[in-house]
Structure 1
Amino acid sequence: MKPYHLLKLAAAGAMLACAAALANAEERSRPLGVVELFTSQGCNSCPRADAYFGELAQSGDVVALAYHVDYWDYLGWRDTMGSPENTTRQYEYARSLGERAVYTPQAIVNGRVHMNGASRAKVGSALDTMAREGKGLIVDIKLEEGVDSVIIEAGKAPDGYGKANLVLVYFDPVTPVEIKRGENAGKTITYWNAVSGVQSVGMWHGKPMRVEIPAMELKKRGAAGCAVLLQGIGKNGNPGPILGAAIVGAPAS
């Protein structure tokens, strides 16, 4: 083979390697995925899932959100972070995923699949598999925090996607809770990213969009931070696949 052919092949190889590196860098700039844990302080199966979830919240590459439900309150301990709204979101997911019942601890990954939230293997496998198969976070979400506002920018859609809700999910600071009654009586459990409110701020139609929200909104809600979810619309308007996500306010250990 002539030397100039070798040079051309080397140059082509370098270009391909560069393109691959840029693609990998872009993928790494997005979170690996979104894990939503439905949990309860009154559920004796939940502490293992809560502990694993804390690790996910601290990992830095997963958007981790914990929804404390209220349907186990009758067992003797009222969940201090529970709300009917969180329970409603879990039932909406059940309808979207074609399930008849809900349970705790339930993890939902990228709005697409569910599993026991204490199963490290299943949660980790779901995150990795969806990232490989193009069912992970495929739309860029960028956040810019200013003095008076937070600016959210959602990128354009890959082929086949064209409509989603832009949702803010507010969460509480890291909080240890001493549980005095019920199935977990006597335990003190640390809870991460407990959801305190969900707010839809706009519709995305597959094209780049920009939304600005007052920074005071976070302060008014007393939230430690919030996640931004670009969430598709599932069956009968219920929550669908999550296409993009970002988080404001990293958890403190």
Structure 2
Amino acid sequence: MTMGSRKSLWLAALVLALPAFAGAGHADNAGGVEKEKPGIDRPLGVVELFTSQGCSSCPPADAYFAELAGKEDIVALAYHVDYWDYLGWQDTLGRKENTERQYDYMRAFGSRSVYTPQAVINGRVHVNGAKRGEVDGALARMSRSGEGMHVPVKVSRTSDRVIIDAGDAGTGPSDAHVVIVYFDAPRTVKIAQGENSGRSMTYWNAVTGIQTAGMWHGKSQRYELPMSEIIKKGGCAVLLQSVGKDGMPGPILGAAFIHKP
């Protein structure tokens, strides 16, 4: 589905929990800090899917995204947009902030319109989110070319705070925002109207909020968040994302899930 022509008119069954919701850790007796369970501080990449319950082209992308969301080496985030609501079904997970993020990417990429299902890979390129070959290919290609997650991001926690340690840049961009992305636990929705009327879909990692927690300037740096805020959310991820002078989102340099206790 594309917005260009219409703008003027304005998989599996849920059986396993995601690593993002597992939250197992162990105590560091020396400092009282609980470290995240052994994992990946440099995942293969970040996949941001822009989707909608009212988009007839989106169910295959949503099903493939569910597979990505179950992989420990992928940070997968789904942004439900609201611009297809006029077709007869209001997306129960849609948010105007998600639509705004997609339009920001559109401007950053120099595109003329937005579309669903759109998958943005590492903040660098976009492909059709239903075409797994294009998504997998982009992730592999960027990993080989040095456009993957080259800055390590490690997460630990105490009883009252989450600690994020971003590593050195090495080569490449040396300024970025520390972006916290909150998302829902998996949720099954029965769609009663619109282009997907009659479908029952399970949606994973649907984004509910985004905030900037700080700035990173290319050197190892530590950030702290109150645990009370993390506990309120279904799930949480941190992105180390460069931002252009015009404020538009740029390449994602590092990422990690923040596991709940």
TM class, shorter-chain normalised?
A: 0.7 to 0.9
Q: When the two structures are aligned, how many residues end up with a matched partner?
A: 222
CA distance in 2, matches of 1:160, 1:128: 19
* Structure 1 position 69 matched with structure 2 position 104: no
Does residue 69 of structure 2 align to residue 57 of structure 1?
A: yes
Q: Deviations over 1:172-226 (max 9, x none)?
A: 0000101011111111000000000000000101111101101111234xx2211
What runs of 5+ residues in structure 1 fail to find an aligned partner?
1-26
SS in 1 for 2:67: helix
> How far apart are residue 60 of structure 1 and its match?
1.2
Tell me what 1:227 maps to.
237
Q: 1:93 to 1:218 in 2, by over 3 A?
A: same
Please identify which structure carries the higher helix content: 1
Farther off after superposition, 35-44 or 138-147: 138-147
- 1:239 aligns with 249
Closer/same/farther in 2, CA of residues 60 and 28 from structure 1, 3 Å limit: closer
2:107 is aligned to: 95
**1:216 matches 2:236:** no
- Give the aligned partner of residue 142 of structure 1: 154
Which residue in 2 is equivalent to 1:6?
none
1:192 is aligned, of 197, 200, 204, to 204
Compute the TM-score of the two structures, normalised by the length of structure 2: 0.83
- Conservation of the 8 A alpha-carbon contact between 1:224 and 1:249: no
1:54–1:90 distance in 2 versus 1, CA, 3 Å:
same
1:125 Cα deviation after fit: 0.3
The equivalent residue for 1:165 is 177
| Equivalent in 38, 43, 58 of residue 55 of structure 2 | 43
Q: Residue in 2 aligned with 1:11?
A: none
Deviation at 1:149, TM superposition (A): 1.2
Q: CA deviation at 1:235?
A: 5.9
- Letter of the 2:89 counterpart: W
* Matched residue, 2:28: none
| TM-score using structure 1 length | 0.85
Distance in 2 between residues matched to 1:191 and 1:174, nearest whole Å: 6
> For 2:194, which of 176, 182, 187 is the aligned residue?
182
Hey, what's the Cα distance between the residues in 2 that align with 1:119 and 1:246?
24
Cα distance in 2 between the residues matched to 1:159 and 1:184:
46
Moved over 3 A (4+): none
Q: Which runs of 5+ in 2 are unaligned?
A: 1-38
1:28 Cα deviation after fit: 6.1
- Separation in 2 of the partners of 1:141 and 1:97? 26
- Structure 1 CA distance for aligned equivalents of residues 172 and 91 of structure 2: 41
1:230 shift after superposition: 0.3
Q: CA deviation at 1:131?
A: 0.2
Determine the C-alpha separation between the residues in 2 that align with 1:235 and 1:113. Answer: 19
1:25-44 residue pairs with structure 2 within 5 A?
A: 29-44=41-56
Give the CA deviation at 1:88: 0.1
- Counting aligned pairs with the same residue, the percent is 61
Counterpart residue type for residue 205 of structure 2: N
